[in-house]
Amino acid sequence: MKICVVGTGYVGLSLAVLLAQKYDVVALDISKDRVKNINNKKSPIKDAELEDFLLHKPLKLKSTINKNEAYSNADFIIVATPTNYDVTTGSFDTSTVEGVISDCLEINSKGLIIIKSTIPLGFTDKMRNKFNKADIIFSPEFLRETKALYDNLYPSRIVIGSKSKKAVKFGEMLLDCSFYSEQDIQLFKMKSKEAEAVKLFSNTFLAMRISFFNELDSFAEIQKLSSEKIIQGVSADPRIGNYYNNPSFGYGGYCLPKDTKQLLDNFNKIPNNIIKAVVEANKTRKDFVIKSILNKHPDTVGVYRLIMKEGSDNFRESAVLDILNNLKRRKIKVILYEPFINKNYFNDIEVVSNLNSFIARSDLIIANRLSDNLNHVLDKVYSRDLFQKN
């Protein structure tokens, strides 16, 4: 049994490591550095479980930039390449996924292709028709950044966008490599378009929950009430729960912004209020945060980290970026502290590598998530992080 995983971002690499516990896995990537790191048992991604498994576990894993080596004789080809949502056109750029499918079929026409990338509704059926191949399915991932392998080892559920024997076999392999048993976890089998909808609605619900608590926090800040006490009282209801309730500058990351916008686009001719409101609420929250910052009349705003959450090394679609860029457009002097940026400037904004210098030069420090590094200067920090959790 050979498995090919295309793309070694946090989705692809976590799946490759998960399955390599019991199966032969070849991870394909265009980055020579990533391939070299993986073959040297070093994770190119900040993820505690990934780092530990690569370094200490006996894995049947090899990484390569050679397409023939990766695709040849593979029984399963997992596509985990990035896609981007274009707000202007209201559509995804899925060229990387289509390119992978095309390349794969030139070398191997028999393997089952499993799409794990974020894709628009109906995309899998479109690919089946385009390439005249039934063995293309969608299987959504439900992974948290910095916890990708953990969430594969302890999945909330496994969703397979097909009922074919090969597809069900793939779902069983994911279950077999997890730390759960068949009694612990549900394996859902459905149409690929239904599986695509599961992913979009799941992420949009999470975005809605984040937006709800952010709006609660906006209300409390204006009314000079304790957000923390209100949230604790609300969350004590077991029907609501004490999770995904820590205020922030807005939701961001790999999936939530593009999934919510894409789902809204699919509601174009379908009556809706909530989905539209989720997208608009995130913009409203950022506008509120910017207004709160401006009301403090700082001469220099220091932005402490672009990352969305503690322990991450990614700031793709970070809400902090929108805050930073908006302040810049308003001619506010902004400096940035971000250890993952090894340059003097980021988007024409000065990057200050020395933390003490950054703190000293900032009249106001904004931080989406607090850090022990700022404990001694909390009087000059603006953050809505109440519970110090992601």
Active site residues: 255
Please check whether residue 119 is in contact with residue 84, taking contact to mean a CB–CB distance below 8 angstroms: no
Question: CA 206 to CA 214: how far, in whole Å?
Answer: 12
State the Cα–Cα distance between residues 252 and 308, nearest whole angstrom.
Answer: 7
Q: Are 118 and 92 in contact (CB under 8 A)?
A: yes
Residue 227's alpha-carbon distances to 5, 156, 230, 233, 296, in angstroms, are 44, 30, 5, 10, 20
Q: Which of 107, 118, 114, 85 is nearest to 6 (CA)?
A: 114
Which amino acid makes up residue 353? S
What is the β-pairing status of strands 345-346 and 349-351? Answer: antiparallel
Return the biggest CA–CA distance within the chain: 64
Residue identified by tokens 């990351």 is 253
Whether 365 contacts 340, CB under 8 Å: no
Residue whose C-alpha is closest to residue 36's, from 70, 62, 13, 12 = 62
Q: What sign results for the dihedral spanned by CA atoms 317, 319, 322, 328? A: negative
Q: Which residues pair with 364 in a beta bridge?
A: 301
